Structure 1
């Protein structure tokens, strides 16, 4: 007699990248995993052994100008059918990879783009993959080993919030933390629908909140129960959807959150590089910029001012506005 299939549960890891920069998008990414009872402990802890060298806190493993590791995770997941197009196929370009991971389709992502501004964020000129084949094979083996342990990754999605969308949110009274939270909610609803079952979602802490109920957006109005509310961890139960836990430093302590962070870091850097290359083609000798609050980014903003004015690039499509009373995040950030 054939043995019964092991009972499975669905686990989601969610994290943001680019919460505090001056330029470029904020990217919020979620990974959905199908987990057996035996694999549940593996999915809910930090990667160990050799895997920890390739999967963990993206701020430590992926840097501006060196995104090969994040790229490799994104490509490997899409090649295994985890992207928007369910068929398993290796993406042939950076643009194809970005749109395979993005939650929204091409038309929706460009809906707010004036025609003369679109090239700033969507030009594919000069971009290409950098992850070597050896690294791609290693990531493939990592995913195989996780599946053998009962952790199968089944989907990855990112919400892309460009400067224009961030600025529109500020005008609507939504600061970056609220926009981050609402993007997380959208992703959990989307991947919960794909799972077709209740999920357990672990998200990075948003804005140091202890209580989230009054700030929910897409989940507002849904019946829920607060199971725990504190500075380090807040947990909510939504009947029919599952549990959502907001956990401090979860990208360093939860495998699925770490994977979401790695993919999101790549998406953020790839999209910021498009902005940098766009203006480097117009300003001789211009250095690229990370987009964060640093001297190189400040110089980049100043050096491109005349070009942006001549091309009538709206400030809202280039630099983020801070919400009233909101202090900028210093340093590199996530």
Structure 2
């Protein structure tokens, strides 16, 4: 009979937000959970009952302009010590919250920012929390109930890839799908180190890949075994690290992936709002934009052109450019990167 200690396992859920927009960052987020044998089934399925009203596919529950639910999950997790080492127990501002969950520190996040551009993405002017206390309490109770069922959330981290990093990757021949995959790998390695044990990681499917081996970045060079490779699921075993599975629609079928998606959606929207507010202060009557491929975003890009030119904002720091490597997507979706 296994002891209570040996029955503890670690699960990671990873998902991306903002893979295809024109503006704003791509955010890849991972959630680490400490799971008992009894809680394993709960952690590996979609949220049920009342929890499903607050936790699930972020595309359905969090919208541009209404991010309170994503904010509530992010704040609740940080308040329980799931943020970076040294992060305050409860974030007192949006900026504090964002840096509590960011994988990289402040200096690393700003490393590519020209001094005169930094305010576009990092100004805190005009931002504030929007989640009501009632919602924060509800999410806190959700986390308590999960812990009672054997699913304790240990850590959450988001990797932020701004337009500049995405464009640099494109020039280096790395399309957005590779950047997404490599960010997922880095997060799994980071949280696996925090766990101090082998992990079981579930990630959203990346770019329709069927086979991931030749596309690995941070995991390249490591010994691994192929468990399965297909359109719906691809899984690999890494000795000493654990198992990594890439699963289609996992944000709608795996609790930890859903939680990662909720946090990532909030982080991306908060950062995109900074860009919008920055230019709204300079262009009277300018509407905010989601950053996606829609008429409002196109109008936003056009309306800010003169301001950006006058301020010498590099295009690379504002709008994403499609990587030439994206032309290979058809080959990727047919079975390999």
Any stretches of 5+ residues in structure 1 without a counterpart?
none
Match of 1:288 in 2: 288
| C-alpha separation in 1, matches of 2:46 and 2:10 | 18
What SS is found at the alignment partner of 2:326? coil
Match of 1:276 in 2: 276
Match of 2:219 in 1: 219
Any stretches of 5+ residues in structure 2 without a counterpart?
none
| C-alpha separation in 2, matches of 1:332 and 1:61 | 32
Compared CA separation, residues 293 and 152, structure 1 to 2 (3 A): same
TM superposition shift of 1:326: 3.4
TM superposition shift of 1:89: 1.3
The correspondence of residues 1-334 of structure 1 with structure 2, limited to 5 A, is 4-5=4-5, 7-85=7-85, 89-324=89-324, 326=326
TM superposition shift of 1:211: 0.1
TM superposition shift of 1:324: 1.9
Q: Answer whether contact 1:20 1:328 (CA < 8 A) is retained.
A: no
| C-alpha separation in 2, matches of 1:82 and 1:130 | 21
TM superposition shift of 1:86: 5.3
Compared CA separation, residues 87 and 274, structure 1 to 2 (3 A): closer
Q: Answer whether contact 2:283 2:304 (CA < 8 A) is retained.
A: yes
Across the two proteins, how many residue pairs are aligned to each other?
A: 334
Q: Answer whether contact 1:233 1:247 (CA < 8 A) is retained.
A: yes
Q: Answer whether contact 1:36 1:150 (CA < 8 A) is retained.
A: yes
What SS is found at the alignment partner of 1:13? strand
TM-score using structure 2 length: 0.95
Compared CA separation, residues 3 and 172, structure 1 to 2 (3 A): closer
What SS is found at the alignment partner of 2:160? strand
TM superposition shift of 1:4: 4.9
What SS is found at the alignment partner of 1:325? helix
TM superposition shift of 1:328: 13
1:230-275, CA deviations, whole angstroms, 9 ceiling, x for partnerless residues?
A: 0000000000000000000000000000000000000000000000
Q: Answer whether contact 1:277 1:288 (CA < 8 A) is retained.
A: yes
TM superposition shift of 1:5: 4.4
1:123-160, CA deviations, whole angstroms, 9 ceiling, x for partnerless residues?
A: 00000000000000000000000000000000000000
Compared CA separation, residues 135 and 228, structure 1 to 2 (3 A): same
TM superposition shift of 1:192: 0.1
TM superposition shift of 1:90: 1.0
| C-alpha separation in 2, matches of 1:216 and 1:304 | 38
Compared CA separation, residues 86 and 11, structure 1 to 2 (3 A): farther
Q: Answer whether contact 1:59 1:333 (CA < 8 A) is retained.
A: no
What SS is found at the alignment partner of 1:74? helix
TM-score using structure 1 length: 0.96
Compared CA separation, residues 88 and 99, structure 1 to 2 (3 A): closer
Q: Answer whether contact 1:294 1:331 (CA < 8 A) is retained.
A: no
Q: Answer whether contact 1:64 1:290 (CA < 8 A) is retained.
A: yes
Coordinate RMSD, CA, aligned: 3.3
Q: Answer whether contact 2:173 2:324 (CA < 8 A) is retained.
A: no
Compared CA separation, residues 194 and 115, structure 1 to 2 (3 A): same
Compared CA separation, residues 331 and 75, structure 1 to 2 (3 A): farther
Q: Answer whether contact 2:12 2:201 (CA < 8 A) is retained.
A: yes
Task: Give 4+ residue runs of structure 1 displaced > 4 Å after superposition.
Answer: 1-6, 327-334
| C-alpha separation in 1, matches of 2:92 and 2:316 | 32
Compared CA separation, residues 332 and 22, structure 1 to 2 (3 A): farther
